[in-house]
Structure 1
Amino acid sequence: MFRSVLFIQYAVILAISFISGVVCFQVFSLDKSMKLISYVDPRVLDLTDVSIWNTIIPLVAWIVLVLFFATHPYLHVLSKFIVAVKITFFGFSSVFLLTQQESLLVYSIWWFPFQLIYCVLLFVLCSVYTTKKMGPNRKHFFSQRLFVTIIVALTIICAGEIVAISYIL
């Protein structure tokens, strides 16, 4: 029961955050949108000169930020907020790519599937550090198996994204 409620909560956060990104894009002017995108993930603006580090560094930054808040005993709620910010940028950049005439292929092969999987895995990463009530006290548990599984999955997806950018697009 708890996992299904958690799944519904994450799905609602994903939908609202993505729509918020779409609305934010409508509010910003195009030059300000491009400036924001260049700060967060410049690959969206230009895929011709992308190195492996341009793919790895933003992903590692999001992972470290989410992991920092997820493993903190008092600030763990902010880890979901960080993922919501990532999803908002995902929606923001999605609208930018869809408004560009030649970017539909880039959006459908590269941006949407990989960013959606990253966001889902970041949500799962929020669950790595949990608390369980043991009698009158609460105990904190760090799930090493789940952490290793998520890191391996993120590594495989990142390698797939690098292949998609390098050879397909």
Structure 2
Amino acid sequence: MFRSVQVIQYGFLLAIGFVSGVICFQAFSLDKSMNLIKLVDPRVLELSDVTMWQTILPIVAWGLFVLFFTTHPYLHFFARLVVAVKATFFGFGSVFLLTQQESILVYSVWWFPFQLIYCILLLALCSVFGTRKVGPNRKFVFNKHLFITLMVAFTVMCVGEMFVISYIIN
């Protein structure tokens, strides 16, 4: 029962974050939107000259933020906030790509599927560190198997994203 409630909470977090990004895009001017996109993920503006590091760095940065907060016993709730910010940028970048006439292919093949899966993987990363009740006390537990599985999934997704950018879009 608890896991199904958690999945529903994560689904709402992604949906509300995405819709918040759409609303934020409507509130910003195009120049300010482009400046924010250039700061967070410049690949959205120009996909023709993407390096391997421009693909790896955003994934690693978001993952480290989430991992830092999720492994801290008193700040673990900030990990979901970081994922909500990522989902907000996912919605923000989605509206930007959809408003550009030539980027429907880029949005449908690259941006939407990969960013959605990254957000889901980041939410799963929030579950790596948890508490178990041991007698009257709580014990903090790091789930190594889930962590290794998520690292493999992040690596596969990163390689897949580089393949899509290199061979399908360009």
Please indicate, yes or no, whether the TM-score normalized by the shorter chain is above 0.5: yes
Counterpart CA distance in 2 for 1:58 and 1:9 is 25
Q: Secondary structure at the match of 2:102?
A: coil
**Deviation for aligned residue 1:107:** 0.1
> Which residue of 2 is the match for residue 85 of structure 1?
85
Q: TM-score, normalised by structure 2?
A: 0.99
**Deviation for aligned residue 1:135:** 1.5
The 4+ residue runs of structure 1 with deviation greater than 3 A are none
> What is the aligned-residue identity percentage?
67
> Which residue of 1 is the match for residue 52 of structure 2?
52
> Which residue of 1 is the match for residue 113 of structure 2?
113
> Which residue of 2 is the match for residue 37 of structure 1?
37
**Deviation for aligned residue 1:133:** 1.5
> Which residue of 1 is the match for residue 157 of structure 2?
157
Counterpart CA distance in 1 for 2:34 and 2:44 is 9
Structure-to-structure mapping, 1:117-132, within 5 angstroms: 117-132=117-132
Give the gaps of 5 or more residues in structure 2: none
Counterpart CA distance in 2 for 1:167 and 1:10 is 33
**Deviation for aligned residue 1:162:** 0.1
Counterpart CA distance in 2 for 1:108 and 1:79 is 28
Say whether residues 1:24 and 2:24 are aligned partners.
yes
Counterpart CA distance in 1 for 2:82 and 2:27 is 21
CA-to-aligned-CA distance 1:109-154 (integer Å, 9 cap, x gap): 0000000000000000000000012111000000000000000001
Counterpart CA distance in 2 for 1:132 and 1:96 is 43
Counterpart CA distance in 2 for 1:133 and 1:7 is 22
CA-to-aligned-CA distance 1:25-65 (integer Å, 9 cap, x gap): 00000000000000000000000100000000011000000
Counterpart CA distance in 2 for 1:112 and 1:15 is 13
> Which residue of 2 is the match for residue 147 of structure 1?
147
Query: Superposition RMSD on alpha carbons, in Å?
Result: 0.4
* Count of residues paired in the alignment: 169
> Which residue of 2 is the match for residue 6 of structure 1?
6
**Deviation for aligned residue 1:163:** 0.1
- Letter of the aligned partner of 1:72 in structure 2? H
Q: TM-score, normalised by structure 1?
A: 0.99
- Letter of the aligned partner of 1:102 in structure 2? E
